[in-house]
Chains A and B, each alone.
Chain A
Amino acid sequence: MTTPLTPQKPPLRATISSMRRASTYYLLLAALLVMLGGCGRGSSVAPKAEMDIAEAMRAALTVESGEDDSSAAVEQADSTGFATLKGRFLLDGSPPKMPLLPVKGDDVAICAPGGAPVFSNAIVVGKDGGLANVLLYVTSDIPDNWLHEADVATATATVDFDQKQCIFLSRVFAMRSTQTLKILNSDPIGHNTNITPKQRATPFNQTIGANSFALYTPGGEERAPFPVSCSIHPWMKAWMITRGNPYFAVTDKDGYFEIPRVPSGVELEFRVWHELPAYIESATLSGVPVKWPKGRMKISLEKDATVDMNVSLDAGLFN
């Protein structure tokens, strides 16, 4: 009566138990991997610190830094006067499509009048491909006595920063860290302006009533732009930088910029930045391809010169 099972097939029980055994090993293996993964987290990113190096560093860092002779010893070249740096940024190619902003909530009547769609203004291209909102700023140390008196006079001025229809009217905004920002609200609804610097400027997050304003004093310089937002309308976005010197500009809607009264006769380091690529590292300057590592552009201007820069940027940088 017994019909033999096909010899190749092991009995059912055996199959199950060997499957179980296999699965146990897989489980074990999986558990091992998980545990190892868990241990490795955080340390896998960088090689392990070496204690003897740390000891040597501790010694170097505890040496009393004596008289500040190091900076005095380096005799800096002096500026010879002033010059003007101006120019235009053009986009070479077609800009990426900007996403639709999620304008929602009970303020839509004011933020998107008539229900019109609102698109991000992260890229604004004007006449003939002129690229708006490119930021240039000098990162070299500037001694106080290099400043033109017109710039000394505005060191503690108040500058305006406005918002209307739930859009910050300046997408990219630069100011001096000693100036005061007057944050206007030109809407009949309330906003709050949330400013989040990274290092030395003070953060700020204050409600600004309908058709009112708030004052902000950054009190410190930042090296790179940082975000500004509104928590009531989270789609609102802008970028800001606070600088210890007056040598910066943001390109206008057609890509033009001008920085007057720049110290001449000395080499200055500029940074070139746009929110999508962040530092702009490659460009075509007056027809010649140039590399600006970390957005660094070095330039030395002659006294009373007006230097005109024609920069073209590959649209590929903005994708």
Chain B
Amino acid sequence: MGRAWAAAVGVCLLLQAGCNSPEAAFHFNAVYAHKQSGVTKSQAKNVKEILIAQFGTPDEPAIPALPDLDVSTVISLDRLKMSAGPVERTDDTAPRRGLYREHCAHCHGVTGDGRGPTARFLNPYPRDYRRGTFKFKSTPVGGRPTHADLKRILVDGIPGTAMPSFKLLAADELESLIQYVKYLAIRGEVERSYILEIDAELEEEDLLLNVPGEDAEQVAEQVEVIQDITSMVLSRWANAAGQATEVPAHPVDDDKIASITRGRELFFGTTANCVKCHGDTALGDGQTTDYDEWTKEIDPTKPHLAAEYVALGAFSPRNIRPRNLRQGVYRGGRRPVDIYWRIKNGIEGTPMPAAPATLGSDDIWHLVDYVRSLPYEALSQARTSGPKFQRERN
């Protein structure tokens, strides 16, 4: 009996080891391909091969060559190497490798799909980088995070979630990991675009890149399409630095109470509408039936469709809750400037919208002041608030 169990455990361990064997591979985005529906098995294989040609493998990364854009200004292959590969520490003089698999992959997955072995037990789920969508950044919706944004996330972590702080890593290690996140995101975005391209343009028997193949003219055209998509994705990352939203100075007045009062009016009013989601008491219990953009892609409101995606590896859909603003835990950072960016630009990939463009920077600062005062406001004060009646009269 005991021996049978030992054998069972042994076999399991062996197989597990097989899973983590050295030839780690990037997974194909089968969920997105299913969403676009028009991708055949041989087209999927073709996409995998093109991606290896451009981006290499988890052990041996590469960066794509482009005629019109110097890719090394966005990601440097030399920097990536420290994060790529299996965890390895032979001796102190050899260059280190495998940082990503050591620190990140068990949550974010080798592919950066947010599906590492511990991921399904976490709430929120770890980020799937492959959409190129990041939440806590200084750039507006549609912009990629800046280098500084990613660095801050790595140094501070994301309070209130499983994402830890990596403050203790050396500067060059952090630098390498930031680049590796960009690398995985870019690779994932390019893959999604190839899937869209196939779905929109190709017949079932056609490939995106017919290599090895005879028809040089066809290949030249296909190479152009591939390079065009790749440089579209890369240029978004190259442009991020210039897109950070400016933060004008806080209006100079000593009257903090007046600013908080104005912020409170806005919070409950029909221009800023914060109350609709964050709720009458700001406990995050207003509109709670929506989903984030990652989840919306798997048709969460249609359980029979969602089940098909889950069978392909997607995690079960969960509603996203607006933040409970009485806890004083800010995932994107607690500095006033962080909260300014969250309110001004919204939180990309989530229902949290950008503030209306009609609100000037002073009003955004009033909202920041009110939000920051909420953890100290008595609950009873909020419920009987005057502005609520104003809202109903409208």
Give the chain A neighbours of B53 by CB distance below 8 A. Answer: 54-55, 57-58, 60-61
Give the chain A neighbours of B282 by CB distance below 8 A. Answer: none
* B336 touches A (CB below 8 Å): no
Bound Cα distance from A42 to B211, whole angstroms? 24
Bound Cα distance from A25 to B48, whole angstroms? 38
Using A61-B226, A70-B220 as known contacts, say yes or no to A188 and B270 having CB atoms under 8 A apart. Answer: yes
**Is the pair A42, B28 in contact by a Cβ cutoff of 8 Å?**
yes
Bound Cα distance from A94 to B168, whole angstroms? 66
* B76 touches A (CB below 8 Å): no
With beta carbons under 8 angstroms apart, the residue of A60, A190, A196 that contacts B293 is A196
Bound Cα distance from A248 to B103, whole angstroms? 50
**Is the pair A57, B209 in contact by a Cβ cutoff of 8 Å?**
yes
**Is the pair B41, A47 in contact by a Cβ cutoff of 8 Å?**
yes
Task: Give the number of residues in A that approach B within 8 Å (Cβ atoms).
Answer: 71
* A24 touches B (CB below 8 Å): yes
Using A24-B5, A39-B15, A206-B356 as known contacts, say yes or no to A199 and B196 having CB atoms under 8 A apart. Answer: yes
Bound Cα distance from A50 to B64, whole angstroms? 18
* B273 touches A (CB below 8 Å): yes
Contact flags A103-126 to B (C-beta < 8 A → 1, else 0): 011010000000000000000000
**Is the pair B221, A207 in contact by a Cβ cutoff of 8 Å?**
no
**Is the pair A21, B1 in contact by a Cβ cutoff of 8 Å?**
yes
**Is the pair B4, A60 in contact by a Cβ cutoff of 8 Å?**
no
Bound Cα distance from A58 to B19, whole angstroms? 28
**Is the pair B38, A294 in contact by a Cβ cutoff of 8 Å?**
yes
Closest to A36 in B: B15
Please choose the segment from A142-150, A208-216, A300-308 that sits at the chain B interface, where 4 or more of its residues have CB less than 8 A away: A208-216
Bound Cα distance from A51 to B60, whole angstroms? 12
* A152 touches B (CB below 8 Å): no
**Is the pair B48, A192 in contact by a Cβ cutoff of 8 Å?**
no
Give the chain A neighbours of B135 by CB distance below 8 A. Answer: none
Using A32-B15, A231-B353 as known contacts, say yes or no to A60 and B219 having CB atoms under 8 A apart. Answer: yes
Shortest CB-to-CB span from A36 to chain B, Å, is: 7
Using A57-B50, A209-B271 as known contacts, say yes or no to A232 and B4 having CB atoms under 8 A apart. Answer: no
Bound Cα distance from A272 to B298, whole angstroms? 24
* A14 touches B (CB below 8 Å): no
Listed from nearest, the 6 A-B pairs whose CB atoms lie closest are A231-B351, A46-B44, A190-B273, A42-B27, A209-B271, A57-B53
A-B contact pairs, 26 of them (CB 8 A): A20-B1, A24-B4, A35-B15, A35-B18, A42-B27, A42-B111, A43-B25, A45-B44, A46-B48, A47-B41, A49-B52, A54-B52, A61-B209, A65-B224, A70-B217, A70-B220, A104-B289, A202-B141, A205-B346, A205-B354, A206-B346, A206-B355, A207-B353, A207-B355, A234-B287, A294-B38
Residues of B within 8 A of A (CB): 1, 4-5, 7-8, 11-12, 15-16, 18-19, 25, 27-28, 30, 33, 38, 41-42, 44-45, 47-50, 52-54, 62, 64-65, 67, 111, 141-142, 193, 196, 200, 203, 209, 211-212, 217, 219-221, 223-224, 226-227, 232, 270-273, 276-277, 286-287, 289-290, 293, 296, 312-313, 346, 348, 351-358, 394
Known: A205-B141, A293-B203. 17 other contacts (CB 8 A): A27-B8, A28-B8, A35-B12, A35-B15, A46-B47, A47-B45, A50-B45, A55-B53, A60-B209, A60-B211, A61-B50, A190-B270, A192-B351, A205-B348, A206-B354, A232-B277, A233-B287
